[in-house]
Amino acid sequence: MNDLGGSALWDIGEEDDKDDTGPFVWMESTRSAAALGPSREYKLVMLGEGGVGKSAIIMQFISHMFPEDHDPTIEDAYKTQIRIDDEPANLDILDTAGQAEFTAMRDQYMRAGEGFIISYSITDRRSFQEARQFKQLIHRVRRTVDTPVVLVGNKSDLAHLRQVSVEEGRSLAREFQCPFFETSAAFRYYIDDVFAALVRQIRQREAEAAKGGEKKSRRHHSFWTRLKSPFRRKQRSEH
Ligand SMILES: Nc1nc2c(ncn2[C@@H]2O[C@H](COP(=O)(O)OP(=O)(O)OP(=O)(O)O)[C@@H](O)[C@H]2O)c(=O)[nH]1
Ligand SMILES: [Mg+2]
């Protein structure tokens, strides 16, 4: 059960029809699934080292609350509905554990997620170095470099404790070929932008995949047209 009073909604496993008695569940926060309507669901996963502010970012995003204390997460999931570029989106957000002892289910959610937020704290260089490890882990588990990702440098309000420059963050995002934001969960800076950017990444890839499919079927069509044309000519010449 998460802080927003969630109840088990669905689990992620290899099969879609598994019941929800498994150890790993996505939870529902504020609304019932029925109230969310039929719009597209996006499974988003929040990754990052312990204490960088993963839970704080999600809580600010969903309920405009900032948790002052660090309560290490095991696994929590939240569900919310927003509009992005005038299209509704149901978000299932999985808040993961930063601490290694809680990460047994990592491969499962790495496979099930559609988009990933890789977060670090600008006040903690080690968490920045870990960001690259998370990217490699996604790559290894999903066996593709083309996974929607957003890179986030959190705690931008703590400028006096900064250990990672904005330029270093930008440069890593260029390497990942993904959007980048410096956020402050404490002040709610750029929090909405992170989630919107991630959904846009997923939509963009889907649009590209649909276009690719269209092209393929057009190619397929012209192949058959070419094959058929000599028959047509032959048939006509017989008359
Ligand atoms: N000043 C400041 N503090 C923050 C910010 N985000 C989170 N914190 C604080 O950092 C601590 C850790 O935040 P959490 O959100 O619990 O971190 P987490 O990444 O979820 O940690 P794990 O669940 O252990 O992996 C808490 O005390 C938060 O209040 C921020 O943007 N600015
Ligand atoms: Mg947490």
112: domain CATH number? 3.40.50.300
On whether residue 12 sits in a domain, the answer given is: no
Q: Which long-range contacts (CB under 8 A, 24 or more apart) does 80-88 make?
A: 80/29, 80/30, 80/31, 81/31, 81/36, 81/37, 81/39, 82/195, 82/196, 84/195, 84/196, 84/199, 84/200, 85/196, 85/200, 85/203, 87/39, 87/203, 88/37, 88/39, 88/40
The more confidently predicted of residues 165 and 37 is 165
On whether residue 3 sits in a domain, the answer given is: no
On whether residue 167 sits in a domain, the answer given is: yes
Q: Which ligand lies nearest to the CA atom of residue 51 in the structure?
A: 1
**CA 67 to centroid of ligand 2, rounded, Å:** 10
Residue 146 belongs to what domain range? 33-233
User: pLDDT tens digit string along 109-121?
Assistant: 999 999 999 999 9
**Domain count along the chain:** 1
User: pLDDT tens digit string along 141-168?
Assistant: 999 889 999 999 999 999 999 999 999 9
On whether residue 10 sits in a domain, the answer given is: no
Q: What atom of ligand 1 comes closest to residue 73's alpha carbon?
A: 23
On whether residue 63 sits in a domain, the answer given is: yes
Does the pLDDT of residue 226 top 80, yes or no?
no
On whether residue 16 sits in a domain, the answer given is: no
Q: What atom of ligand 1 comes closest to residue 187's alpha carbon?
A: 31
